[in-house]
Chains A and B, each alone.
Chain A
Amino acid sequence: MPTNRDVVLVDKQALGGPYFVLTFEHAEVATEGRAGQFVMIKAGQSAEPPLRRPFSILATDPAQGRFRLFVKAIGQGTRALCALQPGEPAQCLGPLGRPFTAPAADEEPLLVAGGYGIAPFLLMSHELRARGVTARVFYGGRTAAELQLREPFAAAGVPLVLSTDDGSLGFPGRVTGALEAHLDRGGDGRRPRLYACGPDPMLHAVAALAARRGLAAEVSLDPWMGCGVGTCLGCVVKIQGPEQERWKYRCACTEGPVFDATHVVWPGDATSAAAGAAR
């Protein structure tokens, strides 16, 4: 159950450029938060900007009652959050939303991230590790400077496949290119299951790839969100299951942010892949 709390920043780690890892105290998020879930958070008591912002939970520490966020300071809300000093307050509601579905024993979990979409996959790697499963993480960006969250994966021994559009680090090209190369090599032999988080065009590309290869895939969507609890109806996305005649607007905050990739009606499409296949 989500819990609304005034929280305190307990640690701030500046990574390169506008990227930060922020640690907050919040017992419920720390103990109940699952990979793919998020919090709505706002710095301090300041009036501006008016609304909280959604962030995927990066990591949890149930023993300490703490959780971490990976934040890119790009706008007013994220800059205010990253300007917090340890000991300063924030307002936080969480954990919120539907987490990723765990893979079956005969599935190879492939975690595909674009930019700061890497956030949920550190927690997911830890969750899988706790079940004795090693995930493979594909982490892509435009340049090496966008791939700032590499160290925690290395420290945890999680295989990390990097890619950059400009070729400055790792596989030269899109993250889906690196993923396809792995799939073409036959993966680790098990049935691949894709999990993706990042900008919409990347998620759309992963969904198309999954549909083409007949793979199960889940995507974490990140639309503009107002409340996080399904009341403002600002974050709705078009979702259509195989049995549904037409799409319905679903709240990404409460019915997502994780959706079956084949159920999403992508911009420019009339129906979802699942509905198209069912016809």
Chain B
Amino acid sequence: MSSSPPNLAVDFAGVKLKNPLVAASGTFGYGVEYEGILDLSRLGGLVSKGLYMTPRDGNPTPRLAETPHGLLNAIGLQGVGVRAFARDVLPRLARHDTAVFVNVCGDSIDEYAEVAAVLEDAPGVAGLEINISCPNVKKGGLAFGNDPAMTHAVVAAVRKVTKRPLIPKLSPNVSDIATFARACADAGADGLSCINTLLGMAIDVETRRPKLAYGTGGLSGPAIRPVAVRMTWQVARAVKLPIFGIGGISCAADALEFLIAGATAVQIGTANFVDAGVYEKILTGLTDYLVRHGLTDIRQVVGTLEIPERT
């Protein structure tokens, strides 16, 4: 028996993460917003808010609605644009010892490639997450993520312009997510993020209007976790790529579900809004779990789902 703490570090598509906890895109701003509130160096990594070539206003308000154990959002990818991010934000993030992934968006296949090309020379980028699954924009986004041929085309186009690890973020709003995972793998993806938000809607019955100005929105939070765990398991069986499991993680047991289902690491999303201290709580919980199970390394948990034979 060793008395040293168990290893939490993982390798994700060639990127070394000091632990498997990564802040999810759209729930952590550009990372720098949390400077002074939490120690960014404690995170395995973070994924930036989605970025286009140019700044975007995003959607009208209201943009958020709480639902049972969940959050419905239609922000619409408000953002500063990739050049401002590379110029103003990346140097600040370089002060923190954490892996920085950039969420790449586009209205067209060309724009995805253009954004990736801008980042190719930017220092301090660990990898690119390709956003083909935002349900809250009219062009691009989900339009690329719910057609396997389009998914392949976007990933292949970005693959041509970058040597960086490429991680498409899959949409759950499809009938067979494994098909999309395979399309990404065929097009040269290095990893997958699984999943983005579920398309949803909430209605104010007094006014008979949608609670969100955009009408529909993306559902996140603990409410979607069973769906996300199931899809992570399906994707892990379909492809050999490392997976970021994402969907309603707010404690160590939640994170462990995804790892056991086959995710190499996980992303924390809506829980960031609830408690900036969530990372420390999950890290403590993961260590406790490993010790309790006599394990020395978090990688010993990955893909260990046991399915009892039916009798």
Q: Which of A215-269 contact B (CB under 8 A)?
A: 223-224, 226-227, 229-234, 236-237, 248-249, 254
- Say yes or no: is B171 at the interface (Cβ < 8 Å to chain A): no
Q: Is the CB of A231 within 8 A of B58?
A: no
Q: Which of B2-38 contact A (CB under 8 A)?
A: 27-29, 33-34, 36-38
Give the one of A2, A48, A234 with max B CB within 10 A: A234
Q: A49 contacts which chain B residues (CB < 8 A)?
A: 66
Q: Least Cβ distance of A139 to chain B in Å?
A: 28
Nearest-CB residue, chain B, relative to A75: B66
Known: A4-B277, A50-B69, A236-B78. A229 touches B270 (CB 8 A): no
* Chain B residues in the interface with A (C-beta under 8 A): 27-29, 33-34, 36-38, 49, 57-58, 61-64, 66, 68-71, 73, 75, 78, 221-222, 270, 272-277
| A22 to B68 Cα, complex, angstroms | 26
| A52 to B68 Cα, complex, angstroms | 14
Q: Is the CB of B273 within 8 A of A47?
A: no
Q: A254 contacts which chain B residues (CB < 8 A)?
A: 33
Known: A1-B36, A49-B66, A51-B71. A231 touches B61 (CB 8 A): no
**What total of chain A residues lie within 8 Å of the partner, measured CB to CB?**
28
Q: Is the CB of A50 within 8 A of B64?
A: no
Q: B68 contacts which chain A residues (CB < 8 A)?
A: 48
Q: Least Cβ distance of A90 to chain B in Å?
A: 12
- Say yes or no: is A136 at the interface (Cβ < 8 Å to chain B): no
Q: Is the CB of A231 within 8 A of B78?
A: no
Q: B69 contacts which chain A residues (CB < 8 A)?
A: 47-48, 50
Beyond known contacts A229-B34, A236-B63: 15 more, CB 8 A cutoff = A4-B38, A4-B277, A48-B69, A50-B274, A91-B275, A226-B64, A226-B273, A229-B29, A229-B276, A231-B49, A233-B75, A234-B73, A236-B61, A236-B78, A254-B33
Give the one of A51, A223, A248 with max B CB within 10 A: A51
Q: Is the CB of A224 within 8 A of B64?
A: yes
Q: A229 contacts which chain B residues (CB < 8 A)?
A: 29, 33-34, 37, 276
Q: Which of A134-177 contact B (CB under 8 A)?
A: none
Q: Is the CB of B66 within 8 A of A231?
A: no
Main secondary structure of the interface of B (DSSP, over half): loop
Q: A237 contacts which chain B residues (CB < 8 A)?
A: 61
18 inter-chain pairs at a CB distance below 8 angstroms, sorted by A residue, are A4-B37, A4-B277, A48-B69, A50-B66, A51-B273, A52-B274, A93-B37, A226-B273, A229-B37, A229-B276, A230-B29, A231-B27, A231-B28, A233-B58, A234-B61, A234-B63, A236-B78, A249-B57
Q: A226 contacts which chain B residues (CB < 8 A)?
A: 64, 71, 273
| A91 to B271 Cα, complex, angstroms | 13
Known: A249-B58, A249-B78. A230 touches B33 (CB 8 A): yes
Known: A50-B69, A224-B64, A249-B58. A231 touches B273 (CB 8 A): yes
Q: Is the CB of A233 within 8 A of B63?
A: yes
Q: B70 contacts which chain A residues (CB < 8 A)?
A: 50
